[in-house]
Amino acid sequence: MKVLGKVTLPLFCGLFLVSSCQPSSVEDVMAGTLGFDINHIDSSFSPCEDFFMFASGGWIAENPIPASEARWGSFPILIEENEIKLRGLLEGLEGKEFPKGSYKQQLRDYYISAMDSITVEDLGLESLRPYLDNVNGIKNRNDIKSYLQYAVREQIGVPFGMYVGADSKNSEAYALYFSQSGLGLPDREYYFKEGEVSDQIRQKYVGHITEMLQLAGVENAGRQAADIMALETEIANNHMNRRDQRKPELTYNKMDFESFAGLMPFFNWNTMAEELSINADSVIVRQPDFFRAMDKIFNNSDVDVWKSYFTWHLLRKYSDYLPHDFVKSSFDFYGRALSGTTENKPRWKRSINKINGGLSEPLGRLFSDKYFSPESRNKVEKMVEDIRAVYRERIMENEWMNEDTKEKAIEKLNAFNYKIGYPDNWKDFSQVEILPNDLVGNRQRITVYQFKDKLARLGTAVDKSEWFMGAHVVNAYYSPSFNEIVFPAGILQPPFFDAKADDAVNYGAIGGVIGHEFTHGFDDQGRKYNAFGNLSSWWSTEDSARFAERTQKVVEFYSKLSPVEGYFVDGELTLGENIADIGGLTLAYHAYKKHISKTGSKVINGFTPEQRVFLGWAKVWQSQATEEFLRKQVQTDPHSPSQYRVNATMSMIPEFKQAFECEEDDPLFITEEERAIIW
């Protein structure tokens, strides 16, 4: 995703032990055509020793992490490039006439309201006044109940989640889901993990709560902050951990509405259902134990502590919509202490982020109108089909699945839908009033509108044309319920995809990403959904056991990796992503091999076509991160750190060993015993 460096030099041979490394003989190409910059290579590493550093060391040495970033590399750089494009587009809307309610009027005025720091400073806490007054009005436990009703209606935050999505066992119907929530730290483990670093983070967190309460004029802020921390710790103690949250069978608890209401009778669910005209006989509860525990916590904790808690969470949630002092305090904790950044992002970037929160789809529309071509769609479509064809063959040929399960796997693979670029239909937000001088109001009106729009879908057929990511976003996703893979226009740019670049690099980069998303349909979670997007057991018992045997090797291998002293990759938490990386790149590699069997290929700058596929993948993960970021990543993120998305993936793929002729004593070489070939 970055366009970095311009000069391409003939390649250094003898930097690594590859027979193909002849004196940059066959063809040298200009940077931009090759698809990656030769100067990013660090020849002091051999590919079989540390492929990540080999491919990216040169870039890393010359590109320190900017002060406002916690990690820097291909993803964040393309994200920034897209932000710059969006800024230009948004500023270009100013001073023009657009009909009220049109997406351009809304984007323009939202951006103006977010950029208007003078109004935000003048307003102080006034924009939150009605909500804060409501908290202050709480006198007893019954008032807490009323406040919760109010907070759900206004969508200002309550310690549980409530949303509408496709029913995991009936993907054609919408269901109402309830989930755990309520923490100010990133995860339950942050409240309990032992050690100096964790102790310090908790201290700083309490300090941050204190500061925010003081800024809001609260008395005894220090004591209240300690109470809030104690309350959150109790809530955290009743949270399901991240590993279990990844198991669809544990988080699918369908029950009738009355049974659900009985889990946490403290809250008057029937009143809520009536007020919001909810049409649902049954609901799906992600973590029933959490709701049972919350009932006790609501009943037993001090009313004043709940008041402090609600005040804190309002300030936390809206910190970036408030005057500078609040923004700074929030950055000092969440940016500096938790992520290791030393400077906040500029206001224009934070303003785009705000729009992205509520009007992501219109923002993507503005982007893709200008920056996406049908030609890119055609090329990517071809790669999707190439990769699907290879996957089909590999499933047919694999040695560990029985014929019945294979047949069902192929059925699922054939049923995969894909979306590329941007949605066919744009959501209609014309009812939502967006004003140039009402930042918090804009956010609220959009949030409440979207919440009600989703609730109104209960009882209707699932809209399969819906996108869950703006078209400008640098990312891609697999949806198990829709059984589809989605690639927004935002990611279909260099270094992920470059219509003019070497095919090998494109297959390794965007091809690897496409393969990754396909493989999610058959990772430890995705495999539990069938061709229709329903959670259902279509695997034979023996095949499930053989799958688990293989994935266990992946868990063990990744669990040994430690990016920061004392912090290890969680092999279980990251299992699905690791399976997708290994499977995805393997698929892309073989799709490319098929492609060149028709078109032919050459050595370029000393690299064989096969080597360039792996370099294409490495380029996608070219990055570096702060220690704070890495600590947070291994505790909360299902994705492994970038260096392992390259090196561990290479260790698991035998085709990489062949391409670079790695030897048994090379660090990236692992034995057949350790390796797991799943897809």
Per CB under 5 A, residues contacting Zn ion are 577, 580
Write down how long the chain is: 679
Closest distance between Zn ion and the C-beta of residue 516, in Å?
Answer: 6
Q: Give yes or no for a contact between 254 and 310, defined as CB atoms under 8 angstroms apart.
A: no
Identify which of residues 523 and 628 has a Cβ nearer to Zn ion in the complex. 523
Closest distance between Zn ion and the C-beta of residue 168, in Å?
Answer: 18
Identify which of residues 58 and 480 has a Cβ nearer to Zn ion in the complex. 480
Contacting residues for 417 by C-beta, under 8 A, at least 6 apart: 464, 482, 483, 484, 485
Active-site residue identified among 211, 438, 517, 524: 517
Q: What is the dihedral of CA 100, 106, 112, 116, to 10 degrees?
A: 100
Q: Which residues pair with 281 in a beta bridge?
A: none
Q: Give yes or no for a contact between 580 and 520, defined as CB atoms under 8 angstroms apart.
A: yes
Q: How far apart (Å, rounded) are the C-alpha atoms in residues 382 and 595?
A: 11
Q: How far apart (Å, rounded) are the C-alpha atoms in residues 514 and 651?
A: 20
The separation between CA 127 and the C-alpha centre of its own chain, rounded to angstroms, equals 30
The values of phi and psi at residue 625, to 5°, are -140, 160
Helical ranges in 116-184 per DSSP H:
117-123, 129-136, 141-154
Q: Which residues pair with 418 in a beta bridge?
A: 485
What kind and span of H or E run contains 627?
helix 627-636
Burial of 207: CB neighbours in 10 Å, binned 0-12, 13-18, 19+: middle
Closest distance between Zn ion and the C-beta of residue 35, in Å?
Answer: 22
Closest distance between Zn ion and the C-beta of residue 482, in Å?
Answer: 15
Q: How far apart (Å, rounded) are the C-alpha atoms in residues 629 and 636?
A: 10
**What is the torsional sign of CA 121, 123, 128, 134?**
positive
Q: How far apart (Å, rounded) are the C-alpha atoms in residues 275 and 162?
A: 15
Closest distance between Zn ion and the C-beta of residue 576, in Å?
Answer: 7
Verify whether residue 133 is a known catalytic residue: no
Closest distance between Zn ion and the C-beta of residue 591, in Å?
Answer: 18
Q: How far apart (Å, rounded) are the C-alpha atoms in residues 267 and 142?
A: 10
Q: Which residues pair with 677 in a beta bridge?
A: none
Closest distance between Zn ion and the C-beta of residue 332, in Å?
Answer: 32
The values of phi and psi at residue 165, to 5°, are -155, 175
Q: How far apart (Å, rounded) are the C-alpha atoms in residues 47 and 216?
A: 55
Identify which of residues 432 and 646 has a Cβ nearer to Zn ion in the complex. 646
Closest distance between Zn ion and the C-beta of residue 520, in Å?
Answer: 6
Identify which of residues 83 and 637 has a Cβ nearer to Zn ion in the complex. 637
Verify whether residue 517 is a known catalytic residue: yes
Identify which of residues 109 and 577 has a Cβ nearer to Zn ion in the complex. 577
Contacting residues for 197 by C-beta, under 8 A, at least 6 apart: 566, 631
Q: How far apart (Å, rounded) are the C-alpha atoms in residues 668 and 655?
A: 13
Closest distance between Zn ion and the C-beta of residue 246, in Å?
Answer: 12
HEC assignment per residue over 414-476: HHCEEEEECCCCCCCCCCCCCCCCCHHHHHHHHHHHHHHHHHHCCCCECCCCCCCCCCCCCCC
Closest distance between Zn ion and the C-beta of residue 336, in Å?
Answer: 29
The values of phi and psi at residue 418, to 5°, are -135, 150
Active-site residue identified among 69, 503, 581, 610: 581
The values of phi and psi at residue 241, to 5°, are -75, 165
The values of phi and psi at residue 196, to 5°, are -60, -45
The separation between CA 665 and the C-alpha centre of its own chain, rounded to angstroms, equals 36
Closest distance between Zn ion and the C-beta of residue 519, in Å?
Answer: 8
What SS3 class is residue 254? Answer: strand
Amino acid sitting at position 405: T
The separation between CA 469 and the C-alpha centre of its own chain, rounded to angstroms, equals 10
- Number of C-beta neighbours around residue 329 at 10 A: 21
| Strand segments (E) across 484-610 | 484-488
Identify which of residues 213 and 469 has a Cβ nearer to Zn ion in the complex. 469
Instruction: Retrieve residue 50's tokens.
Output: 């540390």
Q: Which residues are catalytic?
A: 517, 581
